[in-house]
Amino acid sequence: MRSDDDSWDITTSVGSTALFVATARALEAQKPDPLVVDPYAEMFSRAVGGDWAGVLDGDRPDHDLKTAEFGAHFVNFQAARTRYFDDYFRRAAEAGVRQVVILAAGLDSRAYRLPWPDGTTVFELDQPQVLEFKRRVLAEHGAQPTAERREIAVDLRDDWPQALRDAGFDPARPSAWIAEGLLIYLPASAQEQLFTGIDGLAAAGSHIAVEDGAPMPADDYAAALADEQAAGDDARIFHQLIYNQRCAPADEWFGARGWTATPTPLATWLDTLGRPVPSADVDAGPMIARITLVSGVKR
Ligand code: SAM
């Protein structure tokens, strides 16, 4: 279970979720008709090896990411989510924003993958050991960022706004923010602190994009947690890593503070992109139904 000051590397606790979503992106890239291709995702999975590489080679047909009821939908979900936030960053860049803040960057490769305009700085915030792994793998492959990239090794429950300023972020200029795959790993109080930090540093004309989600019903969460704990140490964990809390729907929180924030249910977005939406009785169905992608601009 989580604690207030826990930390992790790329293969443990919350760090392993970055590897899980990167591996899902790598599986999307193997399809004949990918929604998005992240060529760096596979490098990360292969650098860790074991099941993370085996699943890409078809050697682990029973892996969570390969099941029809969960894995296939989860890969579609990651592809759709990546596409949503890639499109968002293109709009922000076209609007003239040159400061990008990737909160909980994990193995997000947008600083290497997207065609940033000259003069763009991408700030990546995450735990020190996660950033260290990412740096090592990218350096081994000779990867070159397409913008100026600055790493900020920090816990997002601590004073990250100060760390961001110390790294050269200028609150007087507009910025574009992303919180993708992050909120569920923070208690409600830290989510509120995160939103407040963003709002405090965002000049007029700044952009925001958030992956938001309604918490699971308390009984369902308790049951899922108990199942996971009963399955023992070797089982893949997820419910033990999340807080199942929400400070407020992100569109409402930012909408009340001078931002235009539009929510798009993930199910609607999957449908728009021509990917199937799982029904409620399918393993991945309830998770996908709870998620909303939100983006907006500060007036
Ligand atoms: N945003 C990336 C993406 O979508 O590929 C990574 C998402 S991954 C599911 C969750 C990430 O959140 C991990 O990289 C983890 O280290 C980071 N994270 C969660 N809580 C954090 C905290 N309190 N401080 C810093 N990073 C945190």
* Residue-wise pLDDT tens digits, 95-152: 999 999 999 999 999 999 999 999 999 999 999 999 999 999 999 999 999 999 999 9
Is the CB–ligand 1 distance for residue 127 below 6 Å?
Answer: yes
Mean pLDDT of 278-294: 97
- Nearest-atom number in ligand 1 for the CA of 130 is 16
- Nearest-atom number in ligand 1 for the CA of 102 is 1
Query: Can you tell me the distance from the alpha carbon of 182 to that of 177, in angstroms, rounded to the nearest whole number?
Result: 13
Nearest to 257 by CA among 180, 210, 175, 198: 198
Query: Which residue minimizes the CA distance to atom 16 of ligand 1?
Result: 15
Average pLDDT, the chain: 97
pLDDT digits (tens, 9 = 90+) for 251-261: 999 999 999 99
The CA 108 to ligand 1 mean position distance, Å, reads 10
pLDDT digits (tens, 9 = 90+) for 164-186: 999 999 999 999 999 999 999 99
Helix (H, G, I), strand (E, B) or coil at 148: strand
Is the CB–ligand 1 distance for residue 77 below 6 Å?
Answer: no
Q: What residues are paired with 284 via a beta bridge?
A: none
Is the CB–ligand 1 distance for residue 26 below 6 Å?
Answer: no
The CA 101 to ligand 1 mean position distance, Å, reads 13
